[in-house]
Structure 1
């Protein structure tokens, strides 16, 4: 026989079930609001950082497309309260700077800042330093812009077997030859990209000392140090590697303020 309850009284189990469902719904609503607030805060931070980066690039006499900024790590608001951010990624496209009147172009420069420290007071007031423990940058110098700096009509550059390869028409002893070879690519002490062409040859080149001397002079003429535009965030170039799309530049820095030019 089913148990009867006084009028107006519901079953305890059913009442508990309704309370549980209501609590779950409430928690989901609160969680949703927190997620929305968190994402909104991230968006605001990313826009502010993008503005600062654009200002820094402009102060250096360079230019680029509008930066793409991503603040990693969740939840973001917890990072704000802690004053430490896991990672901030910045992508700069079509970076150009004036170097002795010639344009050096980096189609893409990716900047990765790790363990970024910024107090809540700094974020509120805009005063104080936002410092990253480490900043790494990777970019690419297009072969077209690099060849333009060498000022040799018809010269083309590319990658061959992991080396920087060159092909160019050269007049030697009244004849036109197609010169080809590779270069050693290193980072000079001043941060420039050092190109050293020492292995050039041309099919059908006369076996004459004068012909070889002219070819060696041509190699010396295109062996230059290519100064790069100042990189943001005090990035110093550490390595340059020829890749199919261009010269890949790797740079880094430590304990870097990222909220001001320099």
Structure 2
């Protein structure tokens, strides 16, 4: 009798455990479906944004590899319903624009848009504003493109101790010398990169006023303002600093409509 009663009590327990297992499995399956749907929606959004960026780059008579877009924040669908997106990252590679006939190269332009506002109707219809509260961009100007712009045979540029360093062969009063030195790098009011070579020297330079004047004239000849290609998303250059890879340019903007960049 006791055994029969124990078996009777055990059956409900087993049924309860089975029901719990089934419920957990269903929740896991449902969760997996939601995650997959969320990631699919992200992929659609990323492709749409990448196509928009590609069009804007082309409008500026610039060229780049296909944009790489990543929409941050999880879950994405909650952001869609809320009309606010945490972060959209856009990477442009091999960005080139024409400046006075010479190509200024940006091997990478990394753009980070934060707190992006876009209503659900805007996402569905493609009509309306998609506005980023802040946009920050970081790009690198290659030293090779800068040297080509200066157009001095044998001139090379690089980074030395956090400064822009130059090395170039020169002929001063019949003596073949090697000029070395550094430049001050700043951002002008027009958003151009200003290079000022105020600290040049050459080993073996003749101790004559004319020789020093010729060296100073060479420094003035390679001190230029470098116009940058128009950056997307209304980015304004704030800082430029020499790095081993090139001149790193930092730019930013606020309240930017990213669906009508530039």
How would you bin the TM-score normalised by the shorter chain?
A: over 0.9
Identify unmatched segments of 5+ residues in structure 1. Answer: none
Moved over 2 A (4+): 3-7
Correspondence list, 1:167-246, <5 A: 167-246=167-246
- Between the aligned partners of 1:193 and 1:261, the Cα distance in structure 2 is 22
Deviation at 1:5, TM superposition (A): 8.8
Correspondence list, 1:115-134, <5 A: 115-134=115-134
Correspondence list, 1:109-148, <5 A: 109-148=109-148
The answer for the alignment partner of 2:73 in structure 1 is: 73
Cα shift readout 1:107-143 (whole Å, capped 9, x = no counterpart): 0110000000000000011000100000000010000
- Between the aligned partners of 1:127 and 1:61, the Cα distance in structure 2 is 25
- Between the aligned partners of 2:5 and 2:239, the Cα distance in structure 1 is 83
Confirm or deny: 8 A CA contact 1:55 1:261 kept in the other structure: no
Deviation at 1:14, TM superposition (A): 1.2
Normalised by the length of structure 2, the TM-score is 0.97
**What SS does structure 2 have at the residue aligned with 1:13?**
helix
**What SS does structure 2 have at the residue aligned with 1:51?**
helix
Confirm or deny: 8 A CA contact 1:134 1:253 kept in the other structure: yes
Cα shift readout 1:178-234 (whole Å, capped 9, x = no counterpart): 000000000011101000001000001011000000000000000000000000000
Q: How many residues align?
A: 261
The answer for the alignment partner of 1:87 in structure 2 is: 87
Identify unmatched segments of 5+ residues in structure 2. Answer: none
- Between the aligned partners of 2:34 and 2:10, the Cα distance in structure 1 is 35
Q: 1:6 to 1:224 in 2, by over 3 A?
A: closer
- Between the aligned partners of 1:193 and 1:95, the Cα distance in structure 2 is 17
**What SS does structure 2 have at the residue aligned with 1:158?**
strand
Normalised by the length of structure 1, the TM-score is 0.97
The answer for the alignment partner of 1:23 in structure 2 is: 23
**What SS does structure 1 have at the residue aligned with 2:94?**
strand
Confirm or deny: 8 A CA contact 1:115 1:132 kept in the other structure: yes
The answer for the alignment partner of 1:2 in structure 2 is: 3
Confirm or deny: 8 A CA contact 2:234 2:261 kept in the other structure: no
Deviation at 1:3, TM superposition (A): 3.4
Confirm or deny: 8 A CA contact 2:162 2:241 kept in the other structure: yes
